[in-house]
Each structure stands twice: as structure tokens, then as C-alpha cells.
Structure 1
Amino acid sequence: MSNNVPVTPVPRYAALALQLATACVNDCSDRASARQRMADSIRRVRQAVAGSKAFLRQYSGMDARLVVLPEYFLTGFPMGESVAEWRDKAALQIDGPEYQALGAIARDLDLYLAGNAYEVDPHFPDLYFQCCFIIEPSGAVILRYRRLVSLSAPTPYDVWDRYLEVHGIDKVFPVADTPIGRLAAIASEEIQYPEIARCHVMRGAEVFLHPTSEVGSPLMTGKEIARRARAAENLAYVISANSARLEHIAIPAESSTGMSKIIDYKGDVLAEAAAGGESMVATATIDIEALRAARRKTGLTNMLVRQPFQIYADNYARTVFHPANLLLRDGQVRAPEKGETARWQLADIERLANKGLI
């Protein structure tokens, strides 16, 4: 991302958190049937994005420049599959047909398309990572953010030294400097980790794209509290797209529903989709110039520029709650065994309890 001060004003534009059903692939008997279901899902995505954009243009007179899709919208999540099984069945190749088809949607409809999928990094062929992506109107993927905190999937932190050697720290917290603002991505429950959002903001992020698949509830859930907090404390927009329902698995389908919304840089909800089904209602106007003005004014409300980061740095540097590199053995990457990540967590709890920290 460029460090230059932006000089070209960003026109106001419409963004959409598109609440869609997820056709999970867990019950597919083989790779071919899983890939066919994913292809069918991409066709449904194209129809929904095209229809929503056309209606928004007719209704509001504004073009949707940015559409965010839910977490793992093509596959659902692993439910007991080994890393090898899920990698083969559900993980995308970074230049594979699924990304090409999604790129065609962005190109044909002239918009930025963001979402979340499991994918294989050729540098780590025995693993897969959960990836938030942004595709620009040319059809090219311009940002890949790999989820850093997970209990169900390998993460870059599990192979931290090797990952930094290959990709560098800026690829860990990527920010895309675009004509519609500086965009970053946060995966699902990671909205509850303030440090992840903050590391994006340290690189200039103005809009957090948040693909999620979470419980639908009228209560103020942990993720809901976190969404608003991340927006207000960072003076950033949050565009959060949730699953409308999860199909083809035993969990009641609409346990994940609603909650899709757009939050402005003051922490106010601008638009929200109702629970119970697919929806394009979570759409709102993004005003990057107003955000930048808020970040550049003096006063108590500008919490972002008042942050004394160096106060916290030493405590982070010398405190380990969960260690890195647990999937590196003598410098070699290995895949986790079934249930291994749960055992890591138990070990962390025991160690921290013995130290009197929890």
C-alpha cells in the first residue's frame, strides 16, 4: 500500500453486505460433486449480485461499487474432516476455476467483490488456510488475508517463521489502496480480536470487510458488540455479511442468519438485514471523505491518532498466551492431527492457569 497522502477525492458510493445461503459440501461424496456444488453456488452469487446492483441503481440512483459475501459461502466449514480431506474437497487453488469465475462476476458487473474461502497456498501444500479475498473490477484478486486465529483450520501463525520468510509481514496484514478507499479484511470471529483490526489500521485501512457466518440473535452478541467497537475505536467502516442459512448439514439451517450490516466510522449502524433468509437490505452509502475528515480533526473523539502504541508494545513482546509455529517441526511443515488444535487450547489453559494469569 502506498504511504502517500491521498490527493484524489473518493466519491460517495453504495456498498452491499449480501446475505446469502451457503450450500455446504460436507455431505458431498467426492471432490467432483463438491466442485459441482461450488460452481452452482457461484452461479447463484452472480444472479444475486447482478439483481441487487440493478435494483439499488433503480431505487437509490447509486451504483453498488462494493459487495461483500459471507464467510465460506462456497463450502461451509469442516465438520470432522481431516486437513487432507477438507483440502481436497473444499480448498480453492489460488488460480483455480472458482476464483476465475468470481473474477468474471466482478469484471462483468464492474465492482469490487469480497468474500471468504478455504484455499491452498503452493508454499504450504500440506495445509489449507481460510482466506478473505478482494477482487477488483478488472477481475484480479488484489488482496488475500489469511485468518490468523482459528480452532478448526491451520493458520499462518501455526507456521509463523516459515510464513514470514515466504510472504513477509505486510502480506499478513494486507491493505488494498483503491479508488473506493483503503480496504482490509477481517475473518468472522476475528472481529473480536482488536489487535487484528488495529494492525490493519496501522497500515491505513479505512473499510473493514467482514465475511462472517455467525449465530442470528436479537441479543447483543459478542460479535455484534465487537463490530461496533472496531468501527468506533478505529474510525473505520465495517461491512459485515452473514450467512442467510447453512444448507446440507445437520445443524438447523437458520441458526446462522441475519446480522448482516454496515456500520459507519462513528459506530452507528447504517443498514441491517433481517433474520430468516437471503437479503440485499444491508446496503448503505460509504463516504470516505467524511471518514478522512474525522480522522484529521483534533479533539477527544479522535481516539485513533491519540493511540500511544509504544506503551503496549513491551507487554505484547514478552507475554505468550498461545505459542507460534506449532505446525513446524525442525523447520518442516506438518499437517495437524484430528483434534490437535483442541489439545493445544487445553495446554494453553493449563499453562496460564498454573501461572495465575487466568
Structure 2
Amino acid sequence: MTDAPRYRALALQTACHSVNDCPDTASARSTIRAGIDRLHREITASVATSGADTRLVVLPEYVLTGPPRGESVPQWAERAALAVDGTEYARLGEVAADVGVYLSVNAYELDEHFPDLYFQACVIFDPAGEVVLRYRRLNSMWSVTPHDVLDRYLELYGPDSLFPVADTPIGRLAPMASEEILYPEVARCFAVRGAEVFVHNSSEVASALLSPKNIAKLARAVENSAYVVSANTAGLYGSGLPEMSGDGSSKVVDHRGLVLAEAASGASMAANAEIDLGGLRAFRRRVAMENVLARQRFELYAPTYAGTVVHPANQLDGVPSRQDFRATQQRVITDLVDRGVI
């Protein structure tokens, strides 16, 4: 990249209307379509307010459907997961093109190679409505991930599919899905591929206290000399949870770990701030103690990681039940105890 634009990024804090209580798949899909129409209106109005230099909009995690609540994996795949070439993604691309922004979305997603399963995907559309990045979440407690079917996934999509970075006119964008902000290895793998702006789709318990995710947003920014644009939900409606269980604290964090803008509670476009790519790139080129990214010594850590297995890959055989996810973690904990790790 030869230029280093300054532009505004918006972490849109908006309500999530879940499809858990929809009586059938048709009504769930109707709720999803209505959600996209609502988002279109909110994004249009928010960008008009934040300014014409707004180039990036980040939406919350699973904003169109909410999370599963006991539904079987095939049931949730049918009810809530989007087809890669389906009408919902096409409509989201139209929203990005209509408003003229890069749009970061998070949704459950089908894959023809893994029938009856779904992945949780982060997708970024460019201002022409084209997909420039697709990432499937690698760490999840209750959903299938590429790591669970790793050999087959790599055979289909190759290693570059695991940590994709989109090289765009507004910087190198990398996705962070929900609690993956708590995993420094995920962010680092994106950073060494050039990531400059982490787009974080989240739905989390926010607090005036320093919650784990809020601590992690600051830490990932400092560790990697990168911006974090983090969008939280503005309440979870129809999920069975108290509605404000996922609400507040959407924010934009700069490469020094400074919070540039933050939303309070409720639906809000307050979390918007300027991204200064020139300043970021100059910071990364400075000879200084605070240039942490340039001082990494990965050769020291690689043998430990290479020789250690915690949660093994390729654990999935067939379609899992919800109980299988819990049982897998229990096996991992038991193994760590037996090895004296914990």
C-alpha cells in the first residue's frame, strides 16, 4: 500500500432478535430478513450521522439470529445458518454497496462439504458488495469449528483459510469472533500476516468493571500494534435470557490501547472514531521499546507450542449432540489434570 488514509470506523451497537422461539424455519427466515432490513436502515442513518468519511462498519456477533438454545446441530443449521451463496448474504452485500462501506458481519453458515453442520463465520463485504474475507471461528464451546474437522477442512480450503487477512484500501482487516478476543494466539496469527485493524463481532456481558473481553480488547491492540473495532449487541431479544445480558461497551481502541470511543447501554452508533493508518504504520516502524510487534522471538516459543496438545484436532465424527461439546471439554480437563498441567 502506498497511501495511508484516515477514515472513520463504526462499531454499531444494535439489538439482536433471536429466532429460537420462531415456530418454524419459514418464520425464522422471515425474522432474519426483517433483521437485515432494520440493519440497512440503521447503518444508513448512522453513517449519515458519523460522517461521509465512515468507511468501515462492524456489526455484532450473530446479530440476525442470536445463539442456539438447546436446538440440535441439524435443527439450528436448518433454522439459522446462512448459505454461502444464499439470499441473506446477497442482501447484506447490497447493504454494503448501497451505503458504500466495508461491512463486517457474523453469522452461522452452512458448508456443502459438511452436511447437517454449520460454522460461525465472519464475513467482510467491500463497498461494491463483494466478499473480500471469509473466516470460520476456530475456538467455540458450543459450535463445530474447522479445528474439529481440521484434516478435511485443510484438504478442501488449504492453510490460508484459517487466518485470512483482507488487504484493502482502508488497511489490512482481520476478523475476531466473539470470545476469540481472549485468545492472544489468534490475534498474533493475524498480526504476522499483516493485520492492522481487528474487526471484532461480539455479544457479551458488559460492565463498568473491566470484564475479561474488555481487558482483552486493550491487550490485543497493544500486543499487536493494531486497532480493534468491537461491536456488541444492544440486548438479546427472544433468546430466553434477560434481554440486557449482552449489551454495551462497543468501542474503538487504537494501536496504543487507548479507547477512542465507547457506547454506553442500548442501541447506539456512539462507538465511532478515526482510524489513522499513517500513524499506525509509523508507530510500527519506530525503533522503540513499545514497538512490541517488532520485538517478537517466535523461535523461543515454537517448540513449546509444537510439542503441546491441549484440545486435540479432528475430534468430530459425524454430527455432534450438544452434550458432546461438554464431554469433549471434560476429557481435555481430565487429561490436563492427569498430566499435572492443572
TM-score normalised by structure 1 residue count: 0.94
In the alignment, does 2:10 pair up with 1:16? yes
Matched pairs, number: 342
Aligned-partner Cα distance in 2 for 1:64–1:97:
26
Supply the RMSD in Å over aligned alpha carbons: 0.8
Aligned to 1:47: 41
Match of 1:234 among 218, 224, 236: 224
Deviations 1:90-122, CA, capped at 9 Å, x for gaps: 000001111011000111111100010000112
In the alignment, does 2:178 pair up with 1:188? yes
Deviations 1:146-173, CA, capped at 9 Å, x for gaps: 1001111100000011111111111110
Q: Which amino acid aligns with 1:355?
A: R
Secondary structure of 2:294 counterpart: coil
Aligned to 2:254: 264
Q: Is the 8 Å Cα contact of residues 69 and 239 (structure 2) preserved in structure 1?
A: no
Q: Is the 8 Å Cα contact of residues 4 and 277 (structure 2) preserved in structure 1?
A: yes
Deviation at 1:335, TM superposition (A): 1.3
Deviation at 1:249, TM superposition (A): 2.1
Match of 1:284 among 251, 264, 273: 273
Aligned to 1:143: 133
Aligned to 1:219: 209
Deviations 1:35-67, CA, capped at 9 Å, x for gaps: 00000000110000000111122xxxx421000
Pairing 1:69-218 to 2, within 5 Å after superposition: 69-218=59-208
Q: Is the 8 Å Cα contact of residues 221 and 254 (structure 2) preserved in structure 1?
A: yes
Q: Which amino acid aligns with 2:15?
A: A
Give the % identical residues. 55
Aligned-partner Cα distance in 2 for 1:202–1:164:
20
Q: Is the 8 Å Cα contact of residues 21 and 238 (structure 2) preserved in structure 1?
A: yes
Q: Is the 8 Å Cα contact of residues 142 and 322 (structure 2) preserved in structure 1?
A: no
Aligned to 2:324: 340
Secondary structure of 2:9 counterpart: strand
Aligned-partner Cα distance in 1 for 2:303–2:186:
17
Unaligned runs of 5+ in 2: none
Secondary structure of 1:339 counterpart: helix
Secondary structure of 1:208 counterpart: strand
Secondary structure of 1:54 counterpart: helix
Q: Which amino acid aligns with 1:127?
A: L
Match of 2:291 among 295, 302, 314: 302
Secondary structure of 1:14 counterpart: strand
Secondary structure of 2:293 counterpart: coil
Secondary structure of 1:92 counterpart: coil
In the alignment, does 2:253 pair up with 1:253? no
Aligned to 1:314: 303
Deviation at 1:10, TM superposition (A): 2.4
Q: Which amino acid aligns with 1:95?
A: D
Deviations 1:308-354, CA, capped at 9 Å, x for gaps: 011111111110111010114xxxxx111231010011111111101
Aligned-partner Cα distance in 1 for 2:158–2:191:
18
Aligned-partner Cα distance in 2 for 1:163–1:284:
37
TM-score normalised by structure 2 residue count: 0.99
Aligned to 2:336: 352
Aligned-partner Cα distance in 1 for 2:339–2:10:
46
Secondary structure of 2:108 counterpart: strand
Q: Which amino acid aligns with 1:44?
A: R
Aligned-partner Cα distance in 2 for 1:80–1:127:
15
Aligned-partner Cα distance in 2 for 1:210–1:249:
22
Q: Which amino acid aligns with 1:38?
A: I
Aligned to 1:30: 24
Aligned to 1:3: none
Deviations 1:156-201, CA, capped at 9 Å, x for gaps: 0000111111111111100000000000001000000000000001
Aligned-partner Cα distance in 2 for 1:218–1:299:
33
Q: Which amino acid aligns with 2:152?
A: R
Secondary structure of 1:262 counterpart: strand
Secondary structure of 1:117 counterpart: strand
